[in-house]
């Protein structure tokens, strides 16, 4: 049955709110699995992201049947990034080997949601959409030399360099500690959105995080968010 866009949007918002309430409950009850030490050092290649993340986080399984779990994957002072399973996107580009690895018949999903929290109040959990990240990028690049933030995004996506190393290489000694911290928070959040795209749309059959890189290239060139959405599907 066809559902209007507004109806789908309302249903999606209701689902995400339900996920958030469950996450808050787990946070309050200290039931979130802390894998930050393992995950913060990860930045697998686009074609290996799904397999590697599944080994650590068990992200893949039959659609609509995965257990609800929340993992802490990054921690920078009072800033935390979480991934929450499940979501509902189909995993594209599955190979025979992967199907054997996951041991699942029928439709498989490997999707997850990325959330972040600054401070200790779980009510302030934020799910950063692409538009949220674009706005964050626009605000941040005003305080950094022209073109440098995009160079850092490219280093993350194309060269698979981890955020902490990117910040040290490109920004250390050039900006204030506040901007340095903000840049690392942005790149660390973007890292998991990038990995999410590689998991959902696995290269080489699909373009994975190249979509994300293309979006930031267009943003850097002055395209609006609306224009980018007309050119690239997320």
Residue 122 pLDDT: 97
pTM: 0.92
Give the DSSP H/E element, type plus range, for residue 184.
helix 177-200
Nearest alpha-carbon partner for 145 in 109, 182, 174: 174
The region of weakest confidence among 101-110, 119-128, 203-212 is: 101-110
Dump the DSSP string for 97-109.
Answer: HHHHHHT--S-EE
Each residue's pLDDT tens digit, 134-157: 999 999 999 999 999 999 999 999
Longest dimension (CA), the chain: 57
- What is the arrangement of strands in the sheet containing 33-34, beginning at the earlier edge strand? 33-34, 69-76, 79-85, 113-118
Q: Is the pLDDT of residue 3 over 70?
A: no
The region of weakest confidence among 95-99, 126-130, 161-165 is: 95-99
Q: Is the pLDDT of residue 23 over 50?
A: yes
CA–CA separation, 112 and 196 (whole Å) = 7
Angle between helices 130-141 and 148-157 (to 10 degrees): 140
CA–CA separation, 89 and 150 (whole Å) = 28
Each residue's pLDDT tens digit, 31-78: 999 999 999 999 999 999 999 999 999 998 887 788 999 999 999 999
The region of weakest confidence among 20-24, 86-90, 213-217 is: 86-90
Mean pLDDT of 160-189: 95
- Cα distance between the two ends of the chain: 23
Burial of 97 (0-12, 13-18, 19+ CB in 10 A): exposed
CA–CA separation, 155 and 165 (whole Å) = 10
Nearest alpha-carbon partner for 197 in 69, 68, 100, 93: 93
Residue 1 pLDDT: 44
Q: Write the CA distances from 83 to 1, 193, 225, integer angstroms.
A: 31, 10, 25
Residue 228 pLDDT: 93
């Amino acid at each position: 049955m066809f559902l209007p866009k507004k109806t789908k949007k309302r249903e999606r918002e209701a689902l995400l709110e339900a996920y958030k309430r469950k996450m808050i409950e787990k946070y309050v009850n200290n039931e979130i699995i802390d894998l930050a030490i393992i995950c913060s050092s990860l930045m697998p290649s686009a074609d290996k992201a799904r397999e590697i993340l599944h080994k650590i986080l068990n992200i893949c399984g039959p659609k609509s049947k995965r257990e609800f779990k929340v993992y802490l994957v990054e921690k920078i002072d009072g800033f935390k990034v979480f991934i929450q399973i499940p979501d509902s996107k189909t995993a594209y580009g599955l190979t025979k080997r992967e199907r054997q690895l996951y041991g699942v018949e029928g439709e498989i999903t490997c999707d997850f949601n990325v959330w972040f929290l600054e401070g200790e109040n779980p009510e302030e959990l934020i799910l950063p959409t692409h538009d949220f990240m674009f706005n964050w990028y626009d605000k941040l690049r005003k305080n950094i030399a022209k073109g440098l933030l995009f160079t850092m995004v490219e280093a993350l996506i194309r060269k698979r360099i981890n955020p902490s190393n990117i910040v040290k290489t490109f920004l250390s000694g050039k900006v204030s500690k506040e901007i340095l911290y903000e840049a690392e928070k942005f790149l660390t959040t973007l890292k998991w959105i990038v990995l999410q795209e590689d998991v959902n749309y696995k290269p080489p059959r699909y373009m994975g995080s190249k979509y994300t890189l293309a979006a930031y290239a267009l943003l850097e060139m002055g395209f609006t968010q609306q224009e980018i959405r007309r050119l690239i599907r997320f």
